[in-house]
Amino acid sequence: MIPDDVIEQVRDAADLVGIVGETVELKRTGADYRGRCPFHGGTHRNFAVIPKKGMFYCFVCHEAGDVFTYFMKRLGMDYPTAVREVARRVGITIPERSGPTAPDPREPLFAAVATAADWFARQLRESPEGDIARQYLESRHVTMEQAQVQGLGFGPRGSGFLDAMKGLGLREEVLLDAGLIVKREDGSKVPRFRGRLLFPIHDLRSRVVAFSGRVLGDGEPKYLNSPETPIFHKGQLLYNLHLAKHGMRKAERAILVEGQFDVLRLTLAGVEEVVAPLGTGLTDEQAALLQRHTPQVILLYDSDDAGLRATFRAGDVLLRHKLRVSVATLPEGEDPDTLVQNKGAPALEQALKDSVDVLERKIQILERKDFFGSLPGRRRALDRLLPTIRAAADPISRDLYISRVAEVTGVRKDVLQREVDPKQEPAPHYRPLPPVAALPSNAEKSLLLLMMQGEPWRQRVIQAIDSEEIEFPVYRVLFETLADDAPDRLDETAARAYESLQAEGLGSDQPDALFERAVNQLEARRLDREIERINRALPFASDAEKATLAHEKVRLAAERNAKRPTYGIIQSARRKGAPGP
């Protein structure tokens, strides 16, 4: 196999306009070149070469692709041959294979997904049932021409897809392996994407490997992705990275948004360096992928509470990979999609220009909620800021963060320094996930069970507890998705845990008593940690400091002892009755 970075190098070096221009007369129109389509042989200039994206597209027969696909489609080459041909033209030497190589066993899957993508795109353009998708796009102010260039498609209900794929010679097993159809319990097979608008997901070689389908009208989940397949690992890809990486190199930044529509809108507004995770939180692999292409990431998520939680979660992951991270804030009630539609590209550019460092953004929010006005507030603020400092793997960023947090909380820099030493407290993120079978039964679980009772319990728990206080990784994930009210975002492990908790239910426990007990236990645990920190700091402290620390320790211990669950607390909780607002 030819290494990915060599393929990248070849694609970047290739002159698509020149190559197409050898056989097609091209004329410049704005940023693109137009000519007669070499595939369907029309007489009008419906064939576009878009050098900025390194791709071609025909508005009549809808052939589309990059320089490699151009050779494959025009000359019937296979992928490696096309890469070698382009490499030869641009003067890049590809090491010869030693001996005969086996073809990539995943080739049939790539072919199946590509065939499906073409078929879905045609349904969006032509099928009567696709009208619902066309109307939906119109309602979101996306023209059919824009949708086509982006490769959008429509997956109809019914068996049309399966029949069409079989008619094209694709076997059911391959369609199953590619995640395009699903097997029902009775053994029948149905298309995975039914009644959905489809966004194709590309790998770094610009091959379609999966789809993300948005529901049209009512239905759950709102977005449905292809499952993990041999060609699609969603944690290791980013939506639109195959195009955005070129812009990222030029702009020296990436813009991370939440969903496909945000990507689409920003792309249409002329922003190239935009990517999105694929329906879940940002993974370490995705951060590592970004880090290979850019030194800086701007997070452009919704500015509501759920959006902010997602922002800071993603921020910590990116900081761990030594990226500089800033946060763009949108006007109240706007998301990236509506902002560009309502106020245009300049408003977006201004929001990006005004973006602030992720730690600074956290401080702004804590300041607004008046966390720094009191001692308990400053302690809670510190608990929220420490994970971000710890996440910062770049030593300079970390030092700047420590200085800044020392300034706002009044905690001495050297104390903070010891606090964030990664050798003593590894980031919880890196703890391996234990199997779900062994779900611990504890205060964290009680709080989740309460949240699953719906409002007002969900709100009551969110207000009492920060997600950072949930230690068990699967529970932390569940807590965050319940807090965001988005259980459809769960990964498989967390989803199984969710189901098992759902089945378990609250049982005969009094919710109020359970709540008091659980909150007290977490609070006591937090105090235990603080006492432990003091114990660790004591050997390094001067005599004067030792006295202060010892005093603080006594105070914390008293506070902790008051939090330990006792019969009295449970009784008083029972008397209080139903949860408050």
Binding site for Zn ion (CB under 5 A): 37, 39-40, 58, 60-61
Identify which of residues 37 and 339 has a Cβ nearer to Zn ion in the complex. 37
Number of helices and strands in the chain (H, E) = 25, 16
> Min. distance of Cβ 19 from Zn ion in angstroms?
17
> Min. distance of Cβ 39 from Zn ion in angstroms?
4
> Min. distance of Cβ 36 from Zn ion in angstroms?
9
> Min. distance of Cβ 177 from Zn ion in angstroms?
31
Identify which of residues 61 and 550 has a Cβ nearer to Zn ion in the complex. 61
- CA atoms of 398 and 126, how far apart (whole Å): 55
Identify which of residues 69 and 409 has a Cβ nearer to Zn ion in the complex. 69
- CA atoms of 387 and 246, how far apart (whole Å): 32
Task: Report DSSP state, residue 487.
Answer: G
Identify which of residues 43 and 441 has a Cβ nearer to Zn ion in the complex. 43
Identify which of residues 69 and 388 has a Cβ nearer to Zn ion in the complex. 69
> Min. distance of Cβ 47 from Zn ion in angstroms?
6
In the numeric block, which tokens belong to residue 53?
Answer: 């994206």
Identify which of residues 60 and 538 has a Cβ nearer to Zn ion in the complex. 60
Identify which of residues 9 and 46 has a Cβ nearer to Zn ion in the complex. 46
> 226 near 179, Cβ under 8 Å?
yes
> Min. distance of Cβ 117 from Zn ion in angstroms?
17
> 223 near 213, Cβ under 8 Å?
yes
Identify which of residues 61 and 558 has a Cβ nearer to Zn ion in the complex. 61
> Min. distance of Cβ 40 from Zn ion in angstroms?
4
* Side-chain-facing half-sphere of 476: CA atoms under 13 Å: 16
CB atoms within 10 A of CB 488: 13
- CA atoms of 181 and 189, how far apart (whole Å): 6
Identify which of residues 60 and 547 has a Cβ nearer to Zn ion in the complex. 60
- Closest CA relative to residue 224, chosen from 237, 239, 210, 214: 214
Q: What is the three-class DSSP state of 373?
A: helix
- CA atoms of 264 and 198, how far apart (whole Å): 13
* Side-chain-facing half-sphere of 213: CA atoms under 13 Å: 28
Q: Which residues contact 438 (CB under 8 A, 6 or more apart)?
A: none
- CA atoms of 365 and 328, how far apart (whole Å): 13
> Min. distance of Cβ 57 from Zn ion in angstroms?
9
> Min. distance of Cβ 60 from Zn ion in angstroms?
5
Give CA angle at 306 (301, 309), nearest 5°: 80
Q: Indicate the angle between helix axes 375-391 and 395-409, nearest 10 degrees.
A: 180
Alpha-carbon separation of residue 523 from 388, 451, 464, 556 (angstroms) = 21, 18, 10, 11
Identify which of residues 74 and 379 has a Cβ nearer to Zn ion in the complex. 74
- Point out which residues pair with 326 in neighbouring strands: 298, 357
> Min. distance of Cβ 61 from Zn ion in angstroms?
3
> Min. distance of Cβ 46 from Zn ion in angstroms?
6
Give the 3-state DSSP-derived string for 424-457, with helices as H, strands as E and coil as C.
Answer: CCCCHHHCCCCCHHHCCCCHHHHHHHHHCCCCCH
Identify which of residues 148 and 206 has a Cβ nearer to Zn ion in the complex. 148
Q: What are phi and psi of 99, to 5 degrees?
A: 75, 175
